[in-house]
Amino acid sequence: MSQDSQVSKVTALYRYPVKGFTPQPCESLTVQPDGRIAGDRVLAVRFADSATPEDKDGLDYWPKAKGLCLQDFPTLARLRVDFDGRTLTFRDRTDNDAVLVSAGLDQAGRREICDALADWILAGPDAKRLGRPGRLPLELVGDGESARFQDRPRGFVSLHSEESVREVEQANGAVPLDDRRFRSNIVIDGVPARTELDWAVDNTDLTVGAVRFTAQKTIVRCMAVAANPDTGVRDTNLLKVLTAEVGLAEPALGVLLLPTDATGPGEVGSDSGTGGVLRIGDRVSVG
């Protein structure tokens, strides 16, 4: 099948209200003209000795090492996150989805959330890491509206295909894999495994629903993908599988996208198109 004729569809959509935590499944997502997902990475939980992100201006970002994240605290995968724009709720999926904490974003609510998260982590296998000097007390930062806390200075929309995950699953063998491990905003089907990596190389244009994107770069994965999305246990080394078994030069899976008019220095696009709404079942056309 030629690239221009490849057609697939959206099978899942996710946003990540709290940087480094688990996804919130969505029926639709709004892509902002700046190339970020509305409601995505609008909050973060930082360590006490980390710089306050609110002191930065513009499209800033925040490296994972500054606060709680799945890369370093795999047990966070056990927490189900829900944020409605006002109230932030964490539920423990290994405790029948019991509510760990649910509070608003005022000063008292933020303190309640952070204290509950700290107590929960300190009672589990990641306690030693959180107990390092300078990490407590935790602080919940972000206004709950601005998508600010991406891993890169330039925010993107992330996408991977089910077929790419199935290829890694087959190479991995013993451990079944879930799309949630790979933490993309958009999951699609209907293209061969690793096709999205080729899109990044060629800066391919693609349309998802009514939103036109240009592929920018591949997503090189971190240790967050090693954590089982239900148990929070690091049960497989997928970084090694992607390189040694799948045969990639680096542990990449998925692609970063920008709307075609949201480009900046070093990015490829055009002056046409804007953001828009993505929905599960949307057609994805390439070329």
- Rounded CA separation 109/89 (Å): 11
pTM, full prediction: 0.91
Report CA torsion sign: 220, 45, 180, 120: positive
* Mean per-residue pLDDT, 167-184: 92
Compute the average pLDDT of residues 64-90. Answer: 95
Tell me, yes or no, whether 25 lies in a domain. Answer: no
pLDDT of residue 163: 97
Is residue 134 located within the same domain as residue 170? no
Question: Is 160 found in the same domain as 129?
Answer: no
State whether 156 and 134 are in the same domain.
no
The answer on pLDDT for 152 being more than 80 is no
Identify each DSSP E strand in 37-176 by its residue range.
44-46, 79-83, 87-92, 98-104, 139-141, 157-161
pLDDT band per the 50, 70, 90 thresholds, residue 269:
low
Identify the CA nearest to 144 among candidates 187, 110, 182, 94.
110
Q: Are residues 134 and 190 in the same domain?
A: no
The answer to whether position 34 is within a domain reads no
What pLDDT is stored for residue 17 in this prediction? 97
- Confidence check: pLDDT of 272 > 50: no
Contact between 252 and 214 (Cβ < 8 Å): no
Task: Print the domain residue range for 126.
Answer: 41-141
Residues 120 and 156 in one domain: no
276 and 156 part of one domain: yes
Q: Is residue 28 part of a domain?
A: no
Shared domain check, 174 and 52? no
- For 31, residues 6+ apart whose C-beta sits below 8 A from its C-beta are 37, 38, 157, 211, 259, 275, 276, 277, 278
Judge if 60 and 133 occupy the same domain. yes
Question: For 8-30, how does the pLDDT look when each residue is reduced to its tens digit (9 = 90+)?
Answer: 999 999 999 999 999 999 999 99
Alpha helices in the chain (DSSP H): 107-122, 127-130, 162-172, 195-202, 238-240
User: 253-267 pLDDT, tens per residue?
Assistant: 999 999 986 555 455
Average pLDDT over residues 4-9: 67
Number of structural domains the chain divides into: 2
Residues 90 and 172 in one domain: no
Task: Tell whether the model's pLDDT for residue 211 goes beyond 80.
Answer: yes
Region of residue 83 (phi > 0: left; psi between -120 and 50: alpha; otherwise: beta): beta
Is the same domain home to 164 and 241?
yes
Residues 282 and 167 in one domain: yes
pLDDT range class, residue 57, cuts 50, 70, 90: very low
